[in-house]
A and B are shown apart, each in its own frame.
Chain A
Amino acid sequence: MAQTTIPDKSVEKLTRGEGSADLGVTPGVDRAEKLADLGGTTMRLNGCAASAYAALFADVDVITAYPIRPYTAIMMNLAQFIADGLLDAEYLHADGEHAQISAALGAGSCGARAFTGSSGVGVTYAFEVYSPAAGARVPIQMAIADRTLDPPGDFGSEHTDALCTRDMGWLMGWAATPQEVFDKHLLGYAIGEDPRLLLPQMICQDGYFVSHISGDVELPSVEQVERFLPPYKLPFALDPKKPVSHGPQIHPEQGPPLQLERARSMEIALDIIREKTDEFSDVFGRTYPHFVEEFMLEDAEVVFVIQGGHAVTCQATVKRLRERGIKAGMARLLWFRPFPTEDLQKALSKAKVVGVVETNLGLGGASYGGILSLDITTALYHSPHNRPLVTSFMAGMGGETIPINEFSWMADKMVEAMERGAVEKASHWVGFEE
């Protein structure tokens, strides 16, 4: 299998089974000792390896795997950790993604910390299981490295795979760098497993742009992780000592209160995400905004709203636009579910034109473009602050890169709209228009 991994010593060695010697791992040696050696070190890891290391530090109990590129490398790394004795977990080779997520749900329902993941059509193959998992309030975690849905059979990153499950009740957010990937996995477990919440999480990263490009990742100490992430305890686990029934049938009149409770869980999640993000910063010393990363927004007139790895290029473009005298800025979404309506309204309160960068396909929607702008436009429509003009850009389709000149083109469109006082249209296809 051709790996597109950027040469990366540590990961390469691990995936080739040479990790044992390299990490000083001897089977049977106390796992804590091995992890202690890793703690506090900085490794060059790609996004997939960062995910695997996060699962290692989270001491997951059950891993369910099924191969599909590009997320597979996460599971390859974890398989090696187990083979080397670095991680003690059941590694379940599922017979498809539906079975894979179902098995993770079964494990999580019994009180085991379960880790799974997928990409592209693998994510959609398991679709049926997302709502039952969230409705069961079983906080399993799924790592997603985005891949375009078929057709046409494409490895590149588009966020459509995860985004089409956005209304199933999972927490969902994108990381832009391997370090953020690592951190978000721990943060995801801490948020999802909070007994006030109990929701499954999709921790997403762009395929290849993040999953297969290396960056420095600072690994925490075991003590830090234990402080931040207490052992998983499901209050209603399937345990013969305390029998419970999960998922019985209801009568229609019992539906409204149960659905209301599920809807409210997303509102509760907003507060818990804030709380845990602050706690994360206290414990690990790395600080993330709760929901929206604001870049040069103080006086920005034209603002990109974006999520995922393309934000790195977007930031570079914003700096260049500033040199050209264009007051540009960027708001990056760290979580898409629950949608940070208030935080985004506030972040965009001074913007004149907002341009949503869609790296997803939302066929036939209200904007005839992508998915993100639908939520963002709704949030802004109800904004108690200033209501900016909104347009959106279909860019990076099929996993194509979005170069600086394309971001600049988008900025020009936003400047035109600002001068005109109206947007040309709700959605532009970048590269196909003047």
Chain B
Amino acid sequence: MSQEVVRQHLPLFEEQGRSATVPDEVGRNLHYLPDMPKEDPYQAGHRTCAGCGPAIQYRWVLKAAGQNTVVAGPTGCMYVANATYMSTPYTVPWAHTQIASGGSFTSGMAAAYESMIRKGKYKGEYPNILVMAGDGSAADIGIGAISGALYRNHDALFICYDNECYANTGIQTSPTTPYGGSTTFTPPGKVIPEGKKLPPKNLAKMMSEGHPNCYVATTTVGYTIDLMNKTRKGLNHRGAAFLHCYTPCQKGWVYQTPMTVELGRRVVESGLFPVWEYDPEERKYEYFIPPEQRPVVDYLAMQGRFGHLHPEHVALLQVAANRNWEDMGADVPKRLRELEDPEAHKHLKEEEYSLPVNRGIGA
């Protein structure tokens, strides 16, 4: 009398030679994407800011997931800016959850579909079940609920869209705000010139090391196909998956609006946000080593939130980036080693605004 639970399998997109993972001279300015689904379960009409990184991520994730999907969204800017009574941008079922309930509410959704399909109370394939929680929700108040969900191994995808602050409430620090980031809870001043003094939590590694049977990956909005493929891999994985996605916040970080996607690449190229994939069967990490390795200044100088940093603070961030390169098994070029010396830096506000040279628009 038990019914079989039929699960979806989503094919991956062709990536080779098409994504933005190639060096400048090869043609990063090409607007070149493979055929993608026409459907956009995250529709126009929401009220996110111009250049919103999370909105780009929401769109690619739901495009990758498709229409047979159920989505939860804990409180955060992507709750407040998206769904308004009698006007929401979702063409898939979506539910708000309390900020700490992203993991738990989504667990309940997964349990409901497992049970209802098995008992013959719901006719149809097991839907994609996913939650997109901000870093405040996923790395702070709701981390326990997400850990619980990954431990229980529900067949669902748990995503952290990480804009490195509590943006919705007015740019307060979160556990993923980088060292030196200015937020309204970590303002720089005479006594505390660097603003934020603590290094960030390594959220994704906590999830992969702590829940070794789950598929865990990181990515950024700089790599569209990578983001969509990791979404699909997470959904295809039988059991729980966690995806940590770097999503710039124009309002919170203070940068030129069209630079969201560029930041999504520069953070990786400067070694400040390692992009990797954890395979629970092999228990191995596969790191993406970008073809360009840049000084952190190339990344920091694009953003107002770092404008107050002194040479010694920038040097500390370069040390952190070089450690990341080492962790990823990448060689650290000599010029990046030399930048660990504060003498090699100026005050960040004196740096030339590091705009990209001869870059096209979009991915």
Contacts and interface: CB of A to CB of B under 8 A. Distances in A.
B100 A128 contact: yes
B109 interface: yes
A40 to B, nearest CB: 23
B84 A249 contact: yes
Interface residues of B, number: 51
Contact of A243 (B2, B93, B111): B93
A28 to B, nearest CB: 9
Interface string A223-264: 000000001000001111111111111110010000000000
Interface stretch (A110-118, A276-284, A408-416): A110-118
Given A62-B111, A114-B112, A245 B145 contact: no
B173 interface: no
B144 interface: yes
Contact of B104 (A102, A231, A241, A243): A102
Interface of A: 30-31, 61-62, 64, 88-90, 92-96, 98-100, 102-112, 114, 128-129, 132, 136, 231, 237-251, 254
* Interface SS of chain B: mixed
A243 B71 CA distance: 10
B111 A112 contact: yes
Nearest to B93: A238
Interface of B: 1-2, 67-70, 72, 79-80, 83-88, 90-98, 100-101, 103-109, 111-116, 118-119, 121-122, 124, 127, 144-145, 147-148, 151-152
* Interface SS of chain A: mixed
A96 B85 CA distance: 30
A88 B2 contact: yes
A245 B67 contact: no
Given A62-B108, A102-B97, A109-B109, 14 more contacts: A89-B115, A95-B148, A99-B103, A99-B107, A99-B144, A99-B145, A102-B145, A106-B101, A108-B108, A109-B95, A110-B113, A243-B94, A247-B95, A250-B85
B112 A62 contact: yes
Given A88-B119, A90-B111, A90-B114, A99 B93 contact: no
B84 A250 contact: yes
Contacts of B114: 90
A139 to B, nearest CB: 14
Nearest to B119: A88
Contact of B116 (A61, A129, A132): A61
A226 B262 CA distance: 60
22 contacts: A30-B1, A62-B108, A64-B108, A93-B148, A93-B152, A99-B144, A102-B145, A106-B109, A109-B109, A110-B70, A110-B108, A110-B116, A111-B116, A128-B100, A132-B96, A238-B70, A238-B93, A239-B93, A239-B122, A245-B88, A248-B84, A248-B86
